Structure 1
Amino acid sequence: MSSPFGSAPSSALVAVDRAVSELRRGLSVAVSDPGGNVLHLTAAEYATAERLAGFVAAAGASAAPRLLLTNRRAATLKLRPLVGDPVALPLDAHLDAATIASLADPTADLDNPLRGPFAVLRRAPMAAEFAAVKLLKLARLLPAALVATAADTQGLLCVDADAITAYDDQAARALRIVSDARVPLADAEVARIIAFRPPDGGIEHLAIVIGEPTRREPVLARLHSECFTGDLLGSLRCDCGEQLRGAIRTIAAAGGGVLLYLAQEGRGIGLVNKLKAYRLQDQGFDTVEANERLGFDPDERVFRPAAEMLRLLGFDAVRLLTNNPEKVSGLVASGINVVERVPHAFPANNHNEFYLATKKAKSGHLL
């Protein structure tokens, strides 16, 4: 069967995308690495007594079932030693299903301050364990994994660890334009929306091309990560909605340019996890601390998709509307010439003042 993309997607990309779907359904997959390690993997946040019993039974007596937590999450739980990332906790009497779920999800940490002691394996993590946590991040699930050595993978979708770790880059390289339509906007009547999708059917990104920007000189561009609460609902917890609409107005007033609308909600952790981060912020943690308590890095976004989208649109040099130096360095590292950083800031309100101050102090935003 021919592919609408002109060539069939790589089997590695498809396997990773299928594994993401399995994990989001609460099912298990197998992850193998070049060292010969094969792991039975499922998401820890879905742990129930019934599921845990089934997982341990399926793993078998010699499978050494364990809970994997990122170093970020382990540090908030004061687990030692932090030999590598992720940290592995062998399942024992202390780790029943309720405890596993609570260790994965920090939103109830303050209600359960005294937990443990928990044993930690004193060894460097396997490549398959690192990939297992990365796969959960790709699935926009909490990065806490239940794994066991798999002697039998019958009935499990198998995916290679190297394919998981390379997925972001490979999916970005494979992006193709799949749809293009004229969409007049309130602040930019001459506008087109162009959709990009990797051939494995993975996550889609959009470009809003305003006016008729020339390819002969650097284009005025904005990289905007989607924000359901700010962009659509007008949330006052962030400045995303103002940045989106302000960028469209600025680009239109300049005579044209491009806004890339990237499917990287919550700095790449997904909407559900962003809402968990909001709960942590309501408990007194700042935006960086909240992401780290969830087990994520402060910013999980990648900017290779943006670079590939610009190239497909015919742009290799930009004047970038941003206050985030990491967007500049991310594009430059991906081969796009950023000739100018154009400031793009908006006044704080009573709800996002602390959020913006944290971005300036901890994330280096130029506000």
Structure 2
Amino acid sequence: MNSLPVQGQKSTNADASGTLPPLDPVRTRAVHRAVGDARRGVPVVLAGQHPLIVVPAETVGAEGLHLIDRLGSSGAMLLLAPSRAAAVLQEPLDETLPAIALGLTRPLIDVATLRRLADPTLEQIMPGFRRVAPPPLAEAALALGKQARLLPAMITAPVRPGWASLPLGGGLLAVPAADLLAYNRNVAATLHRVAEVAVPLDDAPDARLVAFRALDQGIEHMAILVGDPSAQAAPLVRIHSECFTGDLLGSLRCDCGPQLKGAIRRMAQEGGGVVLYLAQEGRGIGLINKLRAYTLQDRGLDTVDANRALGWGADERNFHIAAAMLAALGLDHIRLLTNNPEKTAGLAACGVDVVERVPHVIAPNGVNDLYLATKARRFGHLLD
């Protein structure tokens, strides 16, 4: 599933000239702990001028709701991405705000209903809600859910002053909201090589794997080196986001498996090249959310609208990671194997010199025809 955002879609691929506060190892570990707590349904306090206590609707349990209720200084609310809120409220889409907030009454609504509100693949029961003004840190709250690869639907409330000294506040983590927003750029800046080994492949007997990991990060990205790409003035490069269903299982729903194998075969024929295999499943939304998006596609949505119905953007990937990997491999000039002109622009914004776009068209198989047509129509891929 390899594409960049549709026109007008907000992207995580910020311009390389943008300035974000650097994260030291201690602050990076705090972001990782916040992500882990979110996945376990443990509330986290977002520090800032108007701090919030927040927990994902997807993972929250009775204890998490109790903490929100007791440590919140005022009414709790459910934060949703605008695209998800439009369906819940049955209103036109409004993307002028980073999030839409729905007020929750006390006692807080039950866990099962909250999960239905977060997940459009579940049976929908839509109780009446009143819209309230989203808090200033709403964007960071949704960012925490996305970093955890959960549905971006968060239960939150302004946290009481002195919350940390209250009996229920002990042990809860506070993390600066700005650090959550800065994380994607910072994780790329700390990427480094951790392992390299020869792995002969069917179509490339001289292939090598180079593994990359970021500071305090458990997620690894791989570079598949075919031949000697450094011997070429501008080697062929393919940026390929991992696709469990297509690459490993041979799913016919996408063209990812044939693209990956075809790229390696072509690079071997040319005597060298690099496939950057990025751990950014489903355009950055994660495997579970990609499967949810498939469910929505089976109900009639295309790949763009399915992602957006879940509350995610059409593309959530961080291509600064690809730029950092190329720099570590010493590749300053590349020919990019892609059908997407916007991908060359995204890499150029990250400082990569793409001297040529090389087409990589895979014929439809009778199952993925609509998927490929959506790529052309909504992402601008050149498939002719």
Q: Given the two structures, how large is their TM-score scaled by the length of structure 2?
A: 0.87
Instruction: Tell me which residue corresponds to 2:120.
Output: 106
Please say if 1:164 is aligned against 2:184. Answer: no
Distance 1:51 1:72 in 2: 29
> Does the 8 A contact of 2:37 with 2:44 survive in 1?
yes
Q: Of 244, 268, 286, which aligns to 1:252?
A: 268
Equivalent residues, number: 351
Query: Aligned-pair distance for 1:171?
Result: 0.5
Distance 2:100 2:287 in 1: 25
Please say if 1:64 is aligned against 2:82. Answer: no
Greater displacement, 293-302 / 91-100: 91-100
> Does the 8 A contact of 2:53 with 2:68 survive in 1?
no
Q: Of 322, 337, 361, which aligns to 1:345?
A: 361
Query: Aligned-pair distance for 1:237?
Result: 0.6
Distance 2:257 2:357 in 1: 20
Please say if 1:54 is aligned against 2:66. Answer: yes
Deviations 1:322-355 (A, max 9, x none): 1122321111000001110000011111211111
Distance 1:25 1:358 in 2: 36
> Does the 8 A contact of 2:236 with 2:274 survive in 1?
yes
> Does the 8 A contact of 1:195 with 1:204 survive in 2?
yes
Query: Aligned-pair distance for 1:51?
Result: 4.0
Distance 1:248 1:362 in 2: 27
Query: Aligned-pair distance for 1:46?
Result: 2.2
SS at match of 2:58: helix
Query: Aligned-pair distance for 1:360?
Result: 0.9
Gaps of 5+ in 2: 1-22, 165-169
Distance 2:52 2:68 in 1: 13
What pairs up with 1:1-367 in 2 under 5 angstroms?
10-33=25-48, 36-48=49-61, 50-51=62-63, 53-60=65-72, 62-77=73-88, 78-79=90-91, 82=94, 84-92=97-105, 95-108=109-122, 111-112=123-124, 115-121=126-132, 123=133, 125-126=135-136, 128-151=137-160, 152-153=163-164, 154-214=170-230, 217-367=233-383
SS at match of 1:46: coil
Distance 1:212 1:347 in 2: 29
For CA contacts below 8 A with separation 6 or more, give which structure has more relative contact order. Answer: 2
Query: Aligned-pair distance for 1:80?
Result: 7.3
Gaps of 5+ in 1: 1-7
> Does the 8 A contact of 1:280 with 1:290 survive in 2?
yes
Query: Aligned-pair distance for 1:132?
Result: 1.2
Structure 1 residues 365, 95: closer, same or farther in 2, change over 3 A?
farther
Q: In structure 1, what residue type is equivalent to 2:266?
A: T
SS at match of 1:298: coil
Query: Aligned-pair distance for 1:133?
Result: 0.6
- CA-based RMSD: 1.9
Structure 1 residues 190, 66: closer, same or farther in 2, change over 3 A?
same
Deviations 1:6-63 (A, max 9, x none): xx95222111111111111222211112xx2211111101245x24642344325x33
Structure 1 segments of 4+ aligned residues over 6 angstroms from their partners? none
Distance 1:191 1:89 in 2: 53
